Structure 1
Amino acid sequence: KRKDKSSVATLTMQDNPVSLSVTMDENSQIVILVANRSGQVHLFTYQPNGQCTKPLKPKVTVVIAADTNQKEAVQQVPIQSADLTADKKMLLAHGSLLNLTFERIVPDFSNKIMGLVRSDARKLREKKDEALTKVKVVEAHDSVEYISPGAAVGPVKRTKGGSQLPLKDRLENLSLNSETNTSSKVQSKGGNMAQLLIQGLTSKDRNILTNVLYNRDEKIIHNTISKLPVQAISPLLKELTAMLQGKTYPSKIAVVWLKNLVIIHAAHLLSHPDIGDVLSPILGLIDLKLAVLPELSRLRGRVSLVTGQISHLNDQQNKDTMAEEGLLVYQDF
């Protein structure tokens, strides 16, 4: 006899199945639990009574959503596999393949869609790591006025009586302390320049920024940057980027400022979350200027050769004219 190979029943699902579990209860009813590729689980029930003409729809569809505390969009936790247990429960394995969570669930036939809310272990770990490694950037407001810390020093009272130094010893002390006085003057000038720079960056005053940033003394630049707060680094980088786009003189001074800024505030720059966006214009300008460097070097070499030949010819002509004797020599006795 020819066996009938046609299907008895057809199951309807939203996606291709990845796991299948079939059991039969005491009433000879077939229970089918299917997990599809979309991360959902469908529960079918079928009572064998001949061939079923219509496709079977799931009695219950299980969907698991991630618990995001209503701060982000709802994300689905995928169900990787499902199995029917002997006590008529569903054993679900959900989560990522590297971190699965197994759970027994009793099917609820009152609703066609059974929604569950579970916390994603991977998301929780990412949030903990982000909370530990997150760097809070202090926002700089225009209305903030920065004041450098300093302790108030009261007036020194002169004691009555006692011997005073003669004028000769005073002059010797002044000559010995001349170097220390110059260094202290440079440091105090750097502090004043830092205050002016903060004021110019806050008020966007071009006159103040020009007077401060166009200073060529590297010691004053170093002391100025060392006294700057971290809130003023991002506005200063924007101003230095604008200077790099200018001519040779502003670009040369901007390079000195950038060098000292990177050396002194390297830790803050490395911890800045948007360091790539801040430094990408500067790196682009540096690459653009370095691309022109070989041509400029060749041009400089040719110009130096031409000027060297011209100066050599001029020197030779001067020697020849000096070596020639006069055609007429007159001596008056």
Structure 2
Amino acid sequence: MIKKTLLAASVVCAASNFAFADTLVIGAPMPSFADKWMSYLFEGINDFNDKHSDVEIKMTDANEDPSKMLNDVDNFIDAGVNALLVVPTDIAIVKPIAKKANRANIPLVIVNRLPDESAMKNVDAYVGSESIQAGIIQAESVVGMLDGKQGNIAILMGVLGHEAQIKRTEGNKQVFSQYSNIKIVAEQEGRWDRAKALQIVEDLLQAHPEINVIVANNDEMAIGALLAARKAGLTDADLIITGVDATPDALEYLGSGLDSTVFQSAKGQGYGGAEIAYKLAKGEKVQKMNWINFELVLEEQKVEYLYKYQ
């Protein structure tokens, strides 16, 4: 069970409101408790919290609202937390968060959404996976499945401007550009959303019946694509579909419409971020960039990766 602690300004007026005097307190503003993939990241944070009796990690829900997240950061700083652990609503918000943390002399760890270089100068540590690696692994799996046949590709992108959208797509194109048998026919913003992707792919398959590969920046859009393909009467043999994240939902579809996905360890990022924040709160030195590798997942690995979520 994920423990989600919503904190009002009246509650966070003093650090003693959080925990006993000898306990380190880490404030963790999160972008949305409703995000399915993020829920596994939160489990990683809670797992670390449960295993360490000398720390209390408090998460708040910004509901994807940057102004709410900034307010949560202010409340944690006013409460005198020992460190901040943040998954930002977007990378643009990292600069003002870093300014607030630096002014208060509170260590700051950013997780999952990589800030730009200028913002990272004022961040103590980052924990996440290199998004371009996911795009490269994903595209290479498509190249292997095509095995020299013509590939007419549609790319479903996440929210435009998100680091993951930019880099995963860049990784896709970096690989596809090396093959004369592969052509990118369409690129559409699916906003990470299954229903949005379903609608987009329904339209794409009518406008571009030659499409035989759909590459999605995440699994939710990949699932939307395969549901659209089924509605159009296409079989698994007609269309290669690949996603990123290896969520439990996506793993269930592997071999039944979804041909591959790329595992991004949400729990690993959450646990790793909590561990780095904990070390900084204790005054220990940490590495600034902490990478958790992506892994290709095919049908025969379904059970192995489903087990990771248990």
TM-score > 0.5 by shorter chain: no
Q: Which has the higher contact order (CA 8 A, sep 6+)?
A: 2
User: Which range, TM-score by smaller chain?
Assistant: under 0.3
TM-score normalised to the size of structure 2?
Answer: 0.20
TM-score normalised to the size of structure 1?
Answer: 0.19
Please identify the structure whose Cα radius of gyration is greater.
1
